[in-house]
Structure 1
Amino acid sequence: MSIGERIKFFRKQQTMTQVQLAERAGLSRSYLADVEGNRYNPSVDTLKSIAKALHIEAHQLLDEQWNDDPAGQPGPKPAFTSKEERDIAKDLERIMSDLESGEALAFHGEPIDEESKELLRISLENSMRLAKQMAKQKFTPKKYRRE
């Protein structure tokens, strides 16, 4: 799977349009389309900004891991099911709304700026994903693990 195909895979996994990803990564939509279509090879800095916009690590766009799904389509190994992704998103939204309510202990009623809020959201999401991944690894019986 090429870098462009992996970018498209992760973008679609998050139900994001090319326009949304391009805006978040600071790119033009047409350039992103050319990268996804393998017409351009993006620079390392461009890959970093795309990865950041997708809330993934840049190495995930470069890894050559293959996992054949039941339909026979190769692709990166999915970390979570769609239900688990929805649960993470729902919990994250609940936590962020609680922080904005003014009752959050960490901010003592002080307003939090948008940049700090986004950094906190990214950090929380990564922590939640790591915790869920560790729990799956620890509590899934060996006979049911897909490795």
Structure 2
Amino acid sequence: MGLNIGARLKAVRQSNGLSQRQLAKRAGVTNATISLIESNRLNPSVGSLKRVLDGVPISLADFFALEVGEEDSRPPVFFTANELVEIGRGGISYRQVGADLTGKALQMMSERYAPGADTGRIPLRHEGEEAGLILSGRLEVTVGDQMQILGPGDAYAFDSSQPHRFRTVGDEDCVVVSACTPPSF
């Protein structure tokens, strides 16, 4: 049975009252790096792990000497705002609930589109279903040959194998809570 580096790092980070983002900043790595290590999707080199641990700070020897119980390796149930994993870029923020979606059927995200943000001229297309609820701002949603501008309280749901595109309308951010099955990012 191997050592669970991810659970160990998460336990150390949380016991020191640090969010993933705070540890990443201290260590000079990306938030995604911390998230990937904690979810055991990235096995860091000793040098990389030392760099991350220097952000706590804790020595490699102390880190490996820690007793981490079985309960630490269970999948998380609750997520603070700082633990949502940023997977977007540019003018679009996709903050995913949970880091490791391996074997999961559902992907849930908090999305933020900056004014003028657009998913691109080439429509998106992937197997599954998508749904979202607009919390603030206005979003132009195009699915196949249908287009609608949605505002707060409006929603969409469609078969995501159809070509689709999202674009912010207006001069304020658009915030959406969305779900996708199966995970597509």
Q: TM-score, normalised by structure 1?
A: 0.43
Q: Going by fraction, where is helix more abundant, 1 or 2?
A: 1
Larger radius of gyration: 2
